[in-house]
Structure 1
Amino acid sequence: MSQLNPKFIYFDLDDTLLDHKKAEQAGLRDVHQHFDMFNGISEDNLLETYHHINKGLWEEYGRGEIDRHELHRRRFSETFQELGLDENMHEEAGKVYMNYYRNHWEWIAGAREAYVAVAEKYEVGIITNGFAETQRLKIDQFNLKETARQIVISEDVGVMKPDPRIFDHSTKLAGVNREDILYVGDSFTSDVVGGSKANWKVAWYTQTPIEQGYKLADLIFDDFDELLNKLGI
């Protein structure tokens, strides 16, 4: 008998199954090498500036204050402005970045083996924030359609995690009671808070848990073997 005993398991995609942060950093370092305009500006300065600006823009996007096109434009135009560069290069830089970013997609350590093992025993699905075309490319590249019975992308639904509506939608797709769904994700706000408010079970994948997480998550793990053990696999 499983110690969590779910009937359906949803996985987050970025930084739970796939290493988005690593790919993003590698893509930005490639951008730094690609353009001569970064002479005199370190890779770390570019990464730090971009991450700070991009994080704020995604928060605005999540609140519905800007659309995807403004996010795409501003994340590089404001980064370049902050670094004293030509912000009119934002469009070209955005295209170059996306091409490099895709070259660096890979599984989180241990995630592929764990996901395959879970999918052999349970019905599984994917819930991911992000732009639909990019997330679909990841889903196709890693053959997740072969195992995921439901794939939910925030842009398709019209709201982002932790909005309750994306969890309500995903509950209906799973076709089981809320308390019979387990959600595996890395983000405290999007996954742990969102999943627990939806009355789902939550397994929080994190290296740096916080006290509130112990109150909300049913499992906190930093190695996928721990998840398999709790699922009786």
Structure 2
Amino acid sequence: MNTSIVDVLIENIQTDLQLLQEVETKMEALKSEKSIIFERLKSSRKDMGVMLKYADETQQKKIETLGFDISEPQKSVNTIATVAFDIIMKVKDNQITNGDLYDAYVKYCKDKKEEAEKYSAFNIKCRSLFNTQKLLRKKGTDPKSTREDIISLNGRILFKEEAIAKEKTETPEKENTPILTSKKTSEKPKEIPLPLDSKKKTATDKKQNNGKR
């Protein structure tokens, strides 16, 4: 009988150990899922810091219910990235070459009487916009330079070469008009028939001339 009780205890312990392992596995999965959700919220809050200025009054009220202080400036926002994003939002089709984007940033700094960063530093500061996929980049024609890269707002991508291709397909092709060339002929010009009166006069003249001879 003692052996039977021991066997039951062993079985219970084995079962509980198995259940404990399953619970710990679930807890690890939940911790991992919690971490993913937390990072996603963190990223969304950063995005909201950039997009906050574009929110209307109704949207601002909803944002306040999420714990944002509308009146408090977002200190964590990258100033250069914000300026670059504003430029993209204002240009036609929300796309521009990287060189033109930098030139627009330099002009902005001059208007604000601020010192502009160099081109390389500007690109480094704007990386966060691409890492968060707010902006998209397509390599330009020059593989050694980034100035010709096409920078566009995510969700509104219409590259220049695609627009040109579309324009070509919509433009009707001009019909090829055949060029007429004059044919050279070796034929003799046809004699123009004389009127009947002229024929009679010619015959009379010939008779008169023969009579004189």
Which one has a larger percent strand, Structure 1 or Structure 2? Answer: 1
Q: How high is the TM-score relative to the length of structure 2? A: 0.27
Higher-Rg structure is 2
Calculate the TM-score normalised by the size of structure 1: 0.25
